Amino acid sequence: MAMSTAQTPARPMRADARRNYHRLLSEARTAFAEHGTDASLEDIARRAGVGIGTLYRHFPNRHALMNAVFQEALTSLITRSRELARAEQPCGGLVEWLGAIITHAGEYRGLAQALMSTSRDETSALSQCNVPLREAGAVLLARAQASGAVRADVSIDDLMQLTNAIALAAEQSPDDPDLAGRLLMLTLKGLKGPNAEGVERCGCARRAQVAWATCGSDVRRACSPRPPRSRT
């Protein structure tokens, strides 16, 4: 998938502008991790040692800044999707992908909500950023459907919304670390295709074993979200 570069100037940046750009990205990552994706842009600019006008010259709005911050993670997800597209068990590749998407969406407080709210807004930098993710996931979904493990009427857009919803629910329930796993198991049961019962156990995220047909407890270990970050 080609990554979105709308937030990067077309012309090469001067050395000072390039320094400011990377300082802003660094401070934004820290601020989003500490305070969520609704962290103050003014504080991010101040911590980077620049004015708010400089921030907006590089990133026209909050979603453009979020897009830039998440590029590294998105690139990793795309790379992994290409590896999973060659997995012996198509269902295992898809399940691992879903778990990785849930982990990504739960990385920063507020990200899952932002991804859901912009999913239909083609003008949003954050939405455009996820177009390649959907394309990568569609390949994995198609393989699983061709094997009969997943129903033919399931769309990648539906799956992306479901994973974001699971991440959002887990974010809102930090005292229930198993919630994401349970919700994913329910999702898997709803995805089962005509040949799902005959699918053997297959590899999944973090080298766990996932029983696709039975949706056993191993799914919780494979797809449990990272511990919630500090909200200070």
SS3 content of the chain, % helix, strand, coil (to 5): 60, 5, 35
* CA distances to 34, 76, 223 from 141, in Å: 34, 19, 17
Whole-number pLDDT of residue 231? 42
Whole-number pLDDT of residue 10? 52
CB atoms within 10 A of CB 88: 9
Half-sphere exposure of 157 (CA within 13 A, CB side): 6
Tokens of 139: 């390949």
Tokens of 209: 């074993």
Interhelix angle 62-69/15-35, nearest 10 degrees: 90
Q: Are 132 and 2 in contact (CB under 8 A)?
A: yes
Whole-number pLDDT of residue 117? 78
Whole-number pLDDT of residue 139? 96
* CA distances to 14, 166, 188, 232 from 27, in Å: 20, 28, 38, 15
For 95-124, give the DSSP string. Answer: HHHHHHHHHHHTSSTTHHHHHHHTTT-TT-
Give the 3-state DSSP-derived string for 26-44, with helices as H, strands as E and coil as C.
HHHHHHHHHHCCCCCHHHH
Whole-number pLDDT of residue 196? 61
Mean pLDDT by 10 residues, the chain (232 residues): 42 84 95 91 97 96 90 89 92 89 85 80 75 92 92 92 91 88 86 62 36 35 44 42
CB atoms within 10 A of CB 83: 10
Whole-number pLDDT of residue 213? 33
CB atoms within 10 A of CB 156: 17
Whole-number pLDDT of residue 222? 40
pTM above 0.85, yes or no: no
Whole-number pLDDT of residue 138? 96
CATH fit for domain 16-69, picks 3.30.497.10, 1.10.10.60, 3.40.50.10610, 2.20.25.10: 1.10.10.60
Q: Locate tokens 């709803």: which residue?
A: 190
Q: Are 65 and 7 in contact (CB under 8 A)?
A: yes
Half-sphere exposure of 56 (CA within 13 A, CB side): 6
Enter the CATH code of domain 71-223. Answer: 1.10.357.10
Amino acid at 35: H
For 61-143, strand residue ranges (E) read none
Whole-number pLDDT of residue 107? 82
Domain boundaries defined on the chain = 16-69, 71-223
In 3D, which of 72, 58, 61 has the Cα closest to residue 9? Answer: 58
Residue 176: exposure state from Cβ atoms within 10 A (0-12, 13-18, ≥19): exposed
